[in-house]
Amino acid sequence: MLKNKVLFKVVDIFYLALIIVPFILGMALNVVTKPLADGIEITGARIFWQIDFPVQPLVITESQVNSWLVVIAITGLCLFLTHGIKAAGKITVRQHIAEFIVEKAKNLVVTNMGEYFEGFAPFIAAVLGLSAFSSLSSLTGMFPPTSDINVVSGWAIVVFILITYYKLKCGPVHYVKTLCSPVLLTPLNVISEVATPVSMAFRHYGNVLSGLVISILVSTGLSGLSKTLLGWLPGILGEIPFLQIGLPAVLSVYFDLFSGCLQAFIFAMLTMLYVSGGFPAEEYFKRKNKKKQKSIGGN
């Protein structure tokens, strides 16, 4: 019995390490690889490695590495919350949290998409978690993957594939008919299809990046203003950016916490609305019932 308890605690520590260590590695990597710069410097994700291939080189960037670190941390969190979960008996706090997350994700999907899409709950929960944790990683000094258009575009392309898949549930002929209805608006309908992943990617990327840029500009501006107004103070006091204390932290709470989580929720909501809205439910179930009746009649 004692051996089992010790083993349980060891596994718990391992899962906690999976949550914490990726962010520590991300902070360390940022400190080691980030070059020193004077003044304001706003750049994209740094390139760590480049592997040559015949068509074009495979580039490993800071945002890709940080994305994997976030994925590992989320995996560790899921394993920690579900470790020791049981159907009966005394329920632990972590099991309550795990059940709460599952229940809320399921209710969110059923409310916005319908019961047919109930199986989408894990995907939507993954989208919410990955997006929110990626944006929040900036609080540790890491480059947030959501500030890279390539990362967010990849998510939007996956969503676009799902949208198209459900639009094709009634066959390609029905899908083409919806694009050509009405005929005069066919070009606009085609452009609208292509614009869906583009708008999703740029909305998420733009909001997260703009918050990061504004925070850096305000922080740097307050530092310069502090030197101008309070640089006359004797000794080391004149070097302390007093005006930089407070406001950047408040902006960080808004842009990193509130805005980051809000953009994750908006991206998940758009995913649910686009997928369920593109699914021709009435036509699909009508065809399904006809096939069922034919099979019964044939038997």
Q: Where are the domains of the chain?
A: 2-298
Tokens 């004077």, residue located: 38
At residue 72 the predicted structure's pLDDT band, cuts being 50, 70 and 90, is very high
Mean predicted confidence (pLDDT) in 101-128? 92
Rg (CA), the chain: 25
Count CA atoms within 13 Å of residue 71 on its CB side: 8
Entry pTM = 0.82
Q: Quote the CA–CA distance of 95 and 101 in Å, as a whole number.
A: 10
Predicted confidence band of residue 43 (pLDDT cuts 50, 70, 90): low
**Mean pLDDT, residues 83-112:** 88
Least confident of 87-91, 149-153, 154-158: 87-91
pLDDT in tens, 205-264: 887 777 777 777 776 777 676 677 666 666 665 566 656 665 666 666 676 777 788 889
pLDDT computed for residue 274 by the predictor: 92
By DSSP bridging, strand 58-61 and strand 47-51 are antiparallel
Q: Cβ(255)–Cβ(212) under 8 Å?
A: yes
In this structure, what token pair is assigned to residue 82? 């579900």
Mean predicted lDDT score pLDDT of the chain: 83
Is pLDDT above 70 for 166?
A: yes
Residue 36 is predicted with a pLDDT of: 58
Is the separation of the CB atoms in 135 and 264 below 8 Å? Answer: yes
Lowest-pLDDT range of 59-68, 103-112, 128-137, 182-191: 182-191
In the chain, what percentage of residues exceed pLDDT 90? Answer: 30
Q: What is the pLDDT of residues 75-94, one digit of tens each?
A: 999 999 998 888 777 788 88
Q: What is the pLDDT of residue 85?
A: 83
178-209 in b/e form (b: 16+ CB < 10 A) is ebeeeeeeeeeeeeebeebbeebbebbbebbb
Please tell me whether residue 1 adopts helix, strand or coil conformation: coil
Helix (H) or strand (E) holding 51: strand 47-51
Helical H runs in 114-185?
121-136, 149-167, 172-179
What confidence category does residue 181 fall into, taking pLDDT thresholds of 50, 70 and 90?
confident
The Cβ-side half-sphere exposure at 106, using a 13 Å CA radius, reads 8
Angle in degrees, CA 268, 191, 273, rounded to 5: 20
Higher-confidence residue of 40 and 195: namely 195
The reported pLDDT for the residue numbered 161 is 93
For residues 255 and 139, the answer to whether their CB atoms sit within 8 Å is no
Structure tokens at 141: 């000094």
Q: Which residue has the higher pLDDT, 199 or 259?
A: 199
pLDDT at 100 (0 to 100): 92
- Residue 252: what pLDDT? 67
The three-class DSSP label of residue 122 is helix
Confidence grade of residue 170 (pLDDT, cut at 50, 70, 90): confident
Angle between helices 2-33 and 62-82 (to 10 degrees): 160
CB atoms within 10 A of CB 44: 14
- 36 three-class SS: coil
What's residue 106's pLDDT? 94
Percentage of the chain exceeding pLDDT 70: 82
pLDDT in tens, 17-27: 999 999 999 88
